[in-house]
């Protein structure tokens, strides 16, 4: 299952809701579909209320709900897939469309993480030092098609695509053999940041004051749909030119090892770990990571997980 947060382009952004991407490039509204299923198939007159409780628009909340939400999404996805094959124009119990072509929707970041952990220096071939862990503010997250606005004076902005692992259930001191069972799914990520010291040099502000954004999306892809998450091609393009490429398996510490290590401080549903960045082995501003400029189009892609396209603007 590929879980998305979306709204139809003609709707306000505040209408963003949880959907499932069907095989024919269609997004189906999970809450609306589940409500209709409960009322028509399960004969439950409280279908609207139950659907709203089990499939809220916040995916992090869905992960915290656990089993009931998971079962509700699976039931809704199966029912919607069957419905779309016979009635692609079907509507929900309140007249809302159940289906929309991907081309007519706007995708948002699939969730707002509780913790956003970016692991740097974990790419194979980087310096011998152990990887370092950076906690990003959840507010730095942005979606897979949103414009990337650079602040005034920011001229040394770098970027790096990485695999994002979403935690699906709480874990504390979990072992490597059990770590993969804690995963809700995978996404593409791109960690964008201003070169160290750039902001403090112009504004006399020290500390962790630099510009940072972490782009995530386009969908949350469940582990069952990715047979080997450490054998996926990963690519970064700027204006259509490939600047970074590699494999999600080209790392010092794999997914299970990272979860086991980071769970020492406990991980919660909705926490996100970016396991490594393609840019780790290259100097920011070099030929492999040229600075982002206004007007550039940044593309971040992982095989099987999708492509994010973000235009750089003022």
The alpha carbon of residue 201 and the mean position of all alpha carbons in its chain are separated, in whole angstroms, by 32
Q: What are the pLDDT digits (tens) for 186-203?
A: 999 999 998 765 554 445
Mean pLDDT along residues 171-185: 95
* Residue range 2-106, CATH number: 2.30.30.230
Q: What size, in residues, is the chain?
A: 314
- Are 273 and 117 a contacting pair, CB within 8 Å? yes
- Are 3 and 106 a contacting pair, CB within 8 Å? no
Q: What are the pLDDT digits (tens) for 111-162?
A: 999 999 999 989 887 776 788 999 999 889 999 999 999 988 888 899 999 9
Mean pLDDT along residues 41-60: 95
Q: What is the pLDDT of residue 151?
A: 87
Nearby residues of 241 by Cβ (< 8 Å), 6 or more positions away: none
DSSP string, the chain: -EEEEEEETTS-GGG-EEEEEETTTEEEEHHHHHHHIIIIIS--TTHHHHHHHHS-S-HHHHHHH-HHHHHHHHHHHHHHHHHHHH-TT-B-TTS-BSEEEGGGEEEE-S---S-EEEEES-BTTS-SSPPEEEEEPGGGEE-SSS-EEPPTT---EE--EEEEEEE-S-BSS--HHHHGGGEEEEEEEEEEEEPTTHHHHHH---SS-S-EEEEEEEEEE-GGG-S-TTS-EEEEEETTEEEEEEETT-BSS-HHHHHHHHGGG-B-TT-EEE---GGGGS-TTSTTSPPP-TT-EEEEEETTTEEEEEEEE-
Burial of 311 (0-12, 13-18, 19+ CB in 10 A): middle
Q: What is the pLDDT of residue 200?
A: 45
Domain regions of the chain by residue span: 2-106, 116-313
Q: What are the pLDDT digits (tens) for 16-28?
A: 999 999 988 999 9
For residue 182, how many other CB atoms are within 10 A of its CB? Answer: 21
Mean pLDDT along residues 265-275: 96
Q: What is the pLDDT of residue 234?
A: 96
Q: In the beta sheet, which residues pair with residue 189? A: 162, 216
Q: What are the pLDDT digits (tens) for 74-118?
A: 999 999 999 999 999 999 999 999 999 999 999 999 999 999 999
Q: Indicate whether 303 pLDDT > 70.
A: yes
Mean pLDDT along residues 208-213: 80
- Are domains 2-106 and 116-313 of this chain identical in fold? no
Q: Indicate whether 38 pLDDT > 70.
A: yes
Q: What are the pLDDT digits (tens) for 221-242?
A: 999 999 899 999 999 999 999 9
**Which CATH code, of 3.30.360.30, 3.90.850.10, 3.40.50.11270, 3.30.470.20, is assigned to 116-313?**
3.90.850.10
Report residue 206's pLDDT band, with 50, 70 and 90 as the boundaries: low
pTM of the predicted protein model: 0.92
Q: What are the pLDDT digits (tens) for 240-253?
A: 999 999 999 999 99
Q: What is the pLDDT of residue 211?
A: 86
């Amino acid at each position: 299952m590929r879980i998305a947060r979306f709204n139809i382009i003609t709707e306000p952004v505040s209408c963003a809701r949880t959907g499932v991407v069907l095989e024919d490039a269609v997004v189906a509204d999970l809450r609306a579909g589940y409500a209709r299923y409960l009322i028509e198939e399960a004969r439950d007159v409280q279908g609207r209320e139950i659907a709203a409780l089990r499939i809220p628009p916040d995916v992090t909340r869905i992960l915290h709900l656990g089993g009931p939400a998971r079962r509700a999404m699976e039931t809704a996805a199966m029912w919607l897939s069957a419905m779309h094959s016979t009635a692609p124009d079907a509507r929900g119990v309140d007249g809302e469309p159940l289906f929309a072509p991907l081309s007519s929707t706007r995708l948002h970041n699939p969730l707002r993480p509780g913790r956003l952990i970016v692991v740097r220096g974990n790419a194979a071939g980087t310096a011998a030092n152990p990887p370092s862990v950076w906690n990003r503010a959840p507010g730095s997250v942005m979606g897979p098609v949103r414009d990337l606005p650079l602040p005034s004076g920011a001229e040394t902005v770098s970027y790096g695509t990485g695999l994002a692992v979403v935690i699906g259930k709480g874990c504390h001191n979990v072992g490597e053999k059990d770590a993969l069972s804690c995963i809700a799914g995978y996404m593409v990520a791109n960690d964008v940041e201003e070169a160290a010291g750039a902001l403090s040099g112009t504004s006399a502000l020290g500390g962790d004051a630099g510009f940072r954004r972490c782009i995530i999306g386009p969908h949350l892809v469940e582990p069952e749909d990715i047979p080997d998450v450490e054998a996926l091609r990963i690519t970064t393009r700027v204006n259509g030119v490939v600047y970074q490429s590699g494999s999600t398996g080209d790392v010092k510490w794999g997914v299970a090892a990272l979860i086991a290590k980071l769970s020492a401080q406990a991980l919660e549903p909705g926490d996100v770990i970016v396991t490594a960045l393609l840019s780790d082995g290259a100097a920011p501003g070099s030929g492999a990571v040229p600075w982002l400029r206004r007007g550039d189009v940044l593309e971040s892609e992982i095989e099987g997980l999708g492509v994010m396209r973000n235009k750089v603007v003022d």
